[in-house]
Structure 1
């Protein structure tokens, strides 16, 4: 897909990967709407992005039915239709499962899984009308290789990935493509409370690098975009061929990892 002139809706677009992707899409000539929960942060982001091209914004919580309705209605009105939906908004709470509250678990399920499914369902008529529609689901590398202390997050992100795979096949031949993105550890506000570094498997890259990879995937019509390079590829292969070896590796890291991620929360 060539993004020139395309109408793009990005959830969670006021910071992190969403903001970086909005910036990159504008550089390709797209018309963009970003959405987020914090109106002041959103307006500031839209003003900064507006220096690069046409940007609209709507303050809404896509984790709620009303927020999804507001988001889609605003996008269709302001952009005049929709060609690309980027399901990027998400939240995380790391830690042992029995120490994670029910409210935190439900928040991850609602924002990371239920919201993108329902927003996509609502947007499908507009994406079909585009004639060249695209859904981009931003999941996580943890959806491919699940790490301890991220049980719920891994579950919902893997669920989103399989949702996208199934929907891609469901929509094959109908003018709507689905692409899944698996970022690794990325320098974003969402990661600011995570103290794990490369020694624990959290080698970080910039949000801009992830955004450029997403753009390349869109232009190539890719099914997925997996970040993390050769190291990630080796872990994926090991997880498939010898998961017990990976279990042992995580066992050795577990005490240090537990301490490093115990405050990791962005909900």
Structure 2
């Protein structure tokens, strides 16, 4: 897909992967509306993008609510005059043992990471269909492909988002709407700020810019999925499929250290 003059709605665009993706899309000639929950951070992101020459508007809204989703989509359609690309990037995480995770935290992850993207996509489909050449991009996680201990709910919702994208791709096949899923690994973003897990535990963080560049390249090439993490991640995915008990043993060896490193990891 040629991104020049494409009309893009990108959720969670005020920081991290979302902001880096907005910068890359603007550089490619796309016109954007970005959303975020924090008005001040969103305003700063819009100013930064405009200073770099981007055609960008912002909408401060909580996608966990029906009113927030409606306001976000309406703002995009009003500012852009239609919609060619929807990028479901907004998300949240709470790590730690399942029994130490509150019901509210579990509910928030289910809503923000899975329900909101599904409902926003459903609402956006008429506008995307009218585009004639449209795309939905869902930002999942490498944890959707390899379930990690202490990320039980997050793994579940991101795997759900992954399969939502796969099923939707097949549902819309031949109808002018592509669907791509991005699987970032550990990324150096504010969302990871409260995690103390490092390379010794397999968390080799890459820059948001590198993830965004891979996303944009995948969109331009019409990829079905983009998986970050290189050969090491590919090997773990293969092991998880062919010999999952071997991966169980690997996690068992680091279990105590991993639990301690991620017990405060929260970005909801």
Using structure 2 for the length normalisation, give the TM-score: 0.99
Residue 53 of structure 1 deviates from its aligned partner by 1.5
Tell me, in whole angstroms, the C-alpha distance in 2 between the residues paired with 1:193 and 1:140: 17
Query: C-alpha separation between the residues in 1 aligned to 2:198 and 2:169?
Result: 35
Per the TM alignment, residue 184 of structure 1 is displaced from its structure 2 partner at its CA by: 0.1
Q: Map 1:71-150 to 2 at 5 A.
A: 71-150=72-151
Counterpart residue number, 1:43? 43
Aligned partners of 1:44 and 1:198: how far apart in 2? 32
Aligned to 1:222: 223
Q: Tell me, yes or no, if structure 1 residue 29 matches structure 2 residue 29.
A: yes
Q: Distance in 2 between matches of 1:8 and 1:50?
A: 15
Mapped to 2, the partners of 1:18 and 1:135 lie a distance apart of: 15
Pairing 1:56–2:60 present: no
Distance (Å, rounded) in 2 between the aligned partners of 1:2 and 1:215: 10
- Residue in structure 1 matched with residue 247 of structure 2 by the alignment: 246
Equivalent residue for 2:264?
Answer: 263
The alignment partner of 1:177 has SS state of strand
Aligned residue for 1:181, secondary structure, equals strand
Give distance in 2, aligned partners of 1:144 and 1:53: 34
CA deviation map 1:21-62 (0-9, x unaligned): 000000000001100000011001100001221000000011
Alignment RMSD: 0.4
Aligned to 2:160: 159
After TM superposition, the score normalised by the length of structure 1 is: 1.00
Q: What CA deviation, in whole Å up to 9, does each residue of 1:73-130 have, x standing for no partner?
A: 0000001110000000000000000000000000000000000000000000000000
Query: What SS does the corresponding residue of 2:78 show, helix, strand or coil?
Result: helix
| Alpha-carbon separation, structure 1, partners of 2:133 and 2:260 | 46
Matching residue of 1:6: 6
Q: How many aligned residue pairs are there?
A: 267
Separation in structure 2 between the aligned mates of residue 198 and residue 104 of structure 1, nearest angstrom: 27
